[in-house]
Structure 1
Amino acid sequence: MHSLVINCGSSSLKFALIKASTNETILEGVAEPLGSDYAKIVVKYHGEKFEESLVEVDHFGAAKKMFTYLQEFGLSGKIDAVGHRVVHGAEYFKSSVLIDQATLDAIERCNPLAPLHNPANLIGIKAAMEVLPNHPHVAVFDTAFHQSMPEKAYLYGLPMEIYRKYNVRRYGFHGTSHRFITEQAAIRLNKPMDELNIISAHLGNGASIAAVKDGKSVDTSMGLTPLEGLVMGTRSGSIDPGLFKYLEKNLNYSIDEIDQFLNKESGLLGLSELSNDCRQLQEHAQKGHRQAALALEIFSYRIAKQIAAYLVPLERLDALVFTGGIGENSSYVRKQVIDSLAFMRYELNEEENLRCFGGYEGTIATSPVFGDILVVCTDEEGMIARDTLDILQNAELKEA
């Protein structure tokens, strides 16, 4: 069986055809920047790359061109179902679901909680449903894995009315990745999921940490939006909310300017005044660039501080797992984080830490009290594909 996975952004449509039995990506591609005169589609198939400009530069045009490529390569008939990444499911969705009109309506009601993501996700779903109207479509939510968090973890210290009326609470993101890492950790540690306690550190341009107790998320660093939590590539992470009034009153910033400032101009980019790319910052730091080194030090310190905080809800730790683009590839950041966790008595294997790069996985440190530190490559697309086909098979069983 094959699943077509679609990840739609405000100006992009990414897609991959994945074979369920082997988790092999048969074909993948991206159409971007949609809405512009120079929008194009790039497709990779059998080691070859195909690229062309789009005549219809919106999401519907991109979806049609995607399907044209699938037809040309004789792959359209292999699609059994379509899986869609949806960023925000609020409290409506605790797991992946088959898409119907009620699902679309609920996703749309989440738009105020993720105005940059959910509207684009919806456009992608509708475009794909128009191109593939006879296929089942499944929504897989970034927030769903964290719906197991208790009230003490997800409620803000705000009047309860704002939660009851407007759903303002902590939701968390990267749930598909954290769920995949939890399953992989259980396999590698040979431990039942319902007995597994781990800290999953998904570190990339966007970064979050999840505390997983007995196989379920009990806390996570992102909140109502993906801005809360760690310092990230261009996002500030958690800040004093009083900054909003200060910027507005003293620097005449508008709400939109503050949003741009915190989401696009801060984090590693703002601190280093060089780049949000961890690889470039490491290179400059090793050459003596003070701000590059400081940016990475702050990044690593906040990660270590969050990891230490999650010992409170977990009580016992079986493993700490690094994943995501930085977590999987940066021995520099991993070492800084581990050095900051000296009280946890981790013994770093320097050689193994350096080896874990470019797809290599392994155990890079051990502690007599807090278990191993693992590097595991995440696979969000694979999880979406698996969820999609699982839901399809369950629906078929109900009909039988």
Structure 2
Amino acid sequence: MDDPDGEDPREQYEEHVRSAPARRRCVLGERVDGRIPPCRGSLGKRRSTTGLPCSRDHAVPTRTQTAGTCGPSWRRPGVCPLFRPGTSPRPAGGTAPPHRQADTDGAPSRRASRSTCPTWPKRRHRLEDGGGDIGVFPTQADPESRAHSVAGAPCRRTQVHWRCVMRADRSHESRDGHVLVLDAGSSSLHIALFAADGERVADRDASEPPGPGAAAELRNFLSEVPAPAAVGHRIVHSGPHLTGHTLIDTPVRALLEDVADLAPLHVTPALRVVDAARELLPDIPHVACFDTVFHKDLPAQARTYAVPERWRAEYGLRRYGFHGLSYSWALQRTAQALGRPVDNLQVVLVHMGGGCSACAVRNGHSVDTTMGLTPLEGLVMSRRSGSLDPGALLWLQRRHGLSTAELDDTLHRHSGLLGLSGTSGDTRDLVRARAEGDAAAALALATFTLSCRRGIASMAASLDRLDALVFTGEIGEDQPEVREEICSALTVLGVRGGLLVPELEDLMREGLRRIDQAVRSVPVLVVATGEIQQIAAETRRVLGVADRTR
């Protein structure tokens, strides 16, 4: 989506990296005789950071504002710092806020007083008040006059509202253009930070599913790593209006909210994380990286459902396809391993994890895939059913009175391997249980591997030849029994069993292994999952920054 302000994202990104030490001063400018002068911007609006009306009659500053001001938050016009007339910049109690001082390395001084507020985590924060004083404070004085302590002094301010922002003056750490990657799922949040050369600086799997605690988890992570210059978010579904990875602004955020019900397990929690990250890091670009973009050029015959034209036109029924970030990464690694250009490859990629799908790639482009309008269609998955006879669902509603909510919950959370086995959706558990004689586990694995073979064969039908079969995803990289059972029954495609079993540690270190060993068989490769790295690379591309990882 185009920048509504007509500015070059690359220039904004680079300016952010260059000017990190200069930001965080008063949005309204320097004090004059102890008073805050009116804004020098050109937009005659009254804004507040908390949604409350601003009592100061001034214009909102713009990006062309004179030196000495911090400039607006990313993608938001300059915001009113909520400093009301007649109030003091000091907390009631007489103790001034402790100013942030800088050590020689540009980091915040350890000499600065820490907040003793019992209602806020022990985390060093920068706060802006209306006069440009910057200190180490709790997140925000309660607008409803909750009393708490700031720098050891009781604070009962009801007039001044403090806006918390993550510190951004660690410019020596952010000049490299570190990219923060956030990958939120229904029950997990993976956080990673990448340097400009693609090196993973740090990562963390959140202890709680995305929710109210996501901000705290992210805040704790950011307190331990170099400051990021951009954030990349994995968003599973782009909907019909976004066909490329894009900067997140208010219109884009609204479009994502509108399509959340097409992938409720993924998009809804991801948006919670997007909102938390934009609140904590408002002055750097946030980029939405979509799983659907890889499939945006699906041929008409592959993306079209055989339903009336009115359904397709009015309701937007069509195939989108998913796991695109994983496929993008795996395709590049496969081309490197085979020593062939991407645009001269015809391969079937199979992503097997919590969600499972297959994709046919011809000359660098997705031409068919098993997932559809939603990530529920296609292969049997860990807890999702995969494809079902639509008539069966109609029958369940008519004959047994199952509600839409019951069908939704069961098909998304209680089906797949879990529904078949009755015990687990994890193939590792099921392989062990099958070895111990568990018939339900054996049936679950047999149904799963047959579903995968069907998917692979149907994808091969969209190709002229099969140059390689590629496995990725958690099951694909870490379950040799499943790979063997799939490949040993695909001789019709020239794929053979008797696969090598690389050590997982070696695979993670090297990123890829070729595992076929039969003479004149189709190459079979395993690629370590690379969605996180791909998000970092796509984020840099959106910002026009060179990707040094290739």
Tell me how large the CA RMSD over aligned residues is.
2.1
Asked if 1:383 corresponds to 2:534, the answer is yes
1:67 correspondence with 2:219: yes
Matched, 1:258 2:442: no
Structure ranking higher in helix proportion? 1
Question: How much has 1:120 moved relative to structure 2?
Answer: 2.8
2:254 equivalent to 1:80? no
Report the Cα offset of residue 170 of structure 1. Answer: 1.0
Structure number with higher strand proportion: 1
Matches within 5 A, 1:106-185: 106-185=255-334
Matched residues in 2 for 1:306 and 1:19: separation? 37
Percent identical: 40
Alignment partners' CA distance in 2, 1:89 and 1:222 = 14
Deviation at 1:10, TM superposition (A): 5.4
Q: 1:341 aligns with which of 490, 499, 508?
A: 490
Distance 1:180 1:356, change over 3 A: same
Q: Which amino acid aligns with 2:543?
A: L
Partner of 1:17: 193
CA contact 2:350–2:470 (8 Å) conserved in 1? yes
Displacement, 1:359?
5.2
Q: Which moved more, 1:17-26 or 1:296-305?
A: 17-26
**What do the CA deviations read for 1:269-302 (whole angstroms, capped 9, x no partner)?**
1111221110010011122222211211111111
In structure 1, the gaps of 5 or more residues are 36-57, 396-400
Q: 1:8 maps to what in 2?
A: 184
Q: Which residue of 1 aligns with 2:89?
A: none
Q: Measure, in 2, the Cα distance between the counterparts of 1:128 and 1:356.
A: 36
Q: Give the whole-Å Cα distance in 2 for the aligned partners of 1:10 and 1:374.
A: 29
Letter in structure 1 aligned against 2:525: L
Structure 2 SS opposite 1:382? helix
* Number of corresponding residues: 366
- The one-letter amino acid paired with 1:108 is E
Structure 2 residue 428 is the aligned partner of structure 1 residue 279: yes
Give the structure-2-normalised TM-score. 0.63
* CA distance in 2 between partners of 1:153 and 1:368 (Å): 33
Residues 272 and 13 (structure 1), Cα distance of their counterparts in 2 relative to 1, 3 Å cut? closer
Shift of 1:304: 0.9
Give the structure with higher Rg (CA).
2
Corresponding position: 1:220 with 2:356? no
Larger RCO, structure (CA 8 Å, separation 6 or more): 1
The reply on whether 1:98 has 2:250 as its aligned counterpart is no
Task: Determine the structure 1 residue equivalent to 2:110.
Answer: none
CA contact (8 A) 1:86 1:121 kept: yes
TM-score, normalised on structure 1? 0.86
Change (3 A) 1:367 1:162: farther
Distance (Å, rounded) in 1 between the aligned partners of 2:503 and 2:350: 15
Question: Distance between the aligned counterparts of 2:534 and 2:219, measured in 1?
Answer: 22
**In the alignment, which residue of structure 2 is the partner of 1:52?**
none
Mapped to 2, the partners of 1:5 and 1:300 lie a distance apart of 32
Contact 1:345 1:367 in 2 (8 A): no
Amino acid at match of 2:445: L
**Aligned-partner Cα distance in 1 for 2:519–2:241:** 41
Q: Is the 8 A contact 1:17 1:28 kept in 2?
A: no
Distance 1:149 1:370 in 2: 28
CA contact under 8 A between 2:496 and 2:521: conserved in structure 1?
no
- Superimposed CA distance per residue, residues 182-213 of structure 1 (whole angstroms, 9 cap, x where no aligned partner): 11111111111111111101011210101111
Render the CA deviation track for 1:113-132: whole Å, top value 9, x for unaligned: 22343233223222211111
